[in-house]
Structure formats: C-alpha cells, structure tokens
Amino acid sequence: MTATPDQIRDLLVSDNLSDRLRAVNDIRALPPAEGFALIQLALKDANTRVRYAAVSQFDSLGGQDLDRSLLLLRELLSDPEPDVQAAAADCLGALKLRAAFEDLQALYDATPEWLVRFSIVAALGELGDPRGFDLLLRALDSDNELETLGAIGALGELGDDRAVPHLAKFATSSDWQVRHRLALTLGRLKSPAGHAMLTALAQDAVAQVAEAATDQLRTLEAAD
C-alpha cells in the first residue's frame, strides 16, 4: 500500500532513523509536485544517510522549481559529508543549473575529496557550460584515474574542439578503458587531428576500442 503524503511527512520527523529512510524511499511513489515538497524536509535531516538518500533522487524532483532547487543544492555543496556534496553536484548537472558553475568551480578547488571532484567534473559535462573548459583541462592531469576518465568524457560533452590537442596523449594510454573513452569523446569533437586519432584507434588491439573508434568514424562521415 502506497503511503500518503501526510504519512510520509509524519515519518520524516520521526525519531527513528529507519522511519525517516523509509519515508524518503516512499516519496518515489508520489506525484513529483508532492514529492518535491516533502523531499526538502529530508534534505535538512541531521543524519547523513537521510540527506544522501534525499539528494540522490532530487534530480527527478528538482524540475518542479528550478530556482528553489538551485538554492537547496548550493547549500548542500557545503554539507559536511563528501558523499552529500558529490550527490548535490550530480543533481546540479542533471538539472543543468548553469548558475551554479562558480559554486562547483570553488568546491573543486577547495576539496581534497576525489569523489567530489569526480562528480563536479561529470556535472560540468552535463551543464555544457563553456566556462568549464579550463577546469576540465586541469582535471585531465589529476592523480586520480577516474577523475581523468571523467574529464575526457566531459570534454566530449562540452564539444569544444580546442580539447583535441590536450587529449592526444591518451591515445597511447596503457589503459584500454581510457582509449575507449577517448574514442567516444573524439567522435563528438570535429577536428582533423581528432579524426586522425580515431583512425589509429580503429586499429587498436582491444576490440572494444577498435569498434568504438570505427563507429565514431562512421558517424562523423555520415554527418559530413
């Protein structure tokens, strides 16, 4: 039986943590407008798990009021828990709230947490904001491989062909997953140099890389 909004509201203020976590999950079954009103209570919960559970589904509810969502998610970028910060960055990207770019940039520069930086990199790709280009170039040189991988993908989403020379060094990476991500990115960046790299990657010894590069070449040729 689906819980009513009033029942969920009562559970959200319960002293029992399990009740509050269940309430956040029950919000998924509500119409978005009702869910949006209730999820805001959970975003301010004293328990990290509740806040994380709430912000993790906020991307599907925040479209009800983007101005309000921007305000709430900006506040969560300052949450004491990195997991919550990362989830907030994810939602800002999913909701394409470009007004938060400077907040994301400031947090990227300040945080020591790789997960937060990774989420910010991914969010910048989703935002498609040209201002993210320089930050993503810096992320390419991260000591964290996942962050670098995320930056390669995000530069493809950004679609700025100036990225191609900076991506060239990854064509010979010893990690096939990096080369695979590079192939997918180059397919979104129309550049003669990128085309040449794709041609080389189409001969890669790893089938997944060669197939991805070949597919991207076909797509580019079909678009010409």
| Segment 119-148, tens digit of pLDDT | 999 999 999 999 999 999 999 999 999 999
User: How many Å apart are CA 25 and CA 23, to the nearest integer?
Assistant: 5
pLDDT of residue 220: 86
Q: Which domains does the chain have, with CATH numbers?
A: 1-64 (no CATH), 66-158 (1.25.10.10), 167-224 (1.25.10)
What percentage of the chain reaches a pLDDT higher than 90?
A: 95
Contact between residue 144 and residue 114 where contact means Cβ atoms under 8 Å apart? yes
User: How many Å apart are CA 150 and CA 153, to the nearest integer?
Assistant: 5
Counted residue by residue, the chain has a size of 224
pLDDT of residue 1: 67
pLDDT of residue 209: 98
User: How many Å apart are CA 149 and CA 184, to the nearest integer?
Assistant: 12
Q: Could you read off the pLDDT of 98-127 as tens digits, one per residue?
A: 999 999 999 999 999 999 999 999 999 999
DSSP 3-state percent helix, strand, coil across the chain (nearest 5): 80, 0, 20
Token representation of residue 218: 């076909």
User: How many Å apart are CA 181 and CA 150, to the nearest integer?
Assistant: 9
User: How many Å apart are CA 41 and CA 31, to the nearest integer?
Assistant: 16
What percentage of the chain reaches a pLDDT higher than 70?
A: 99
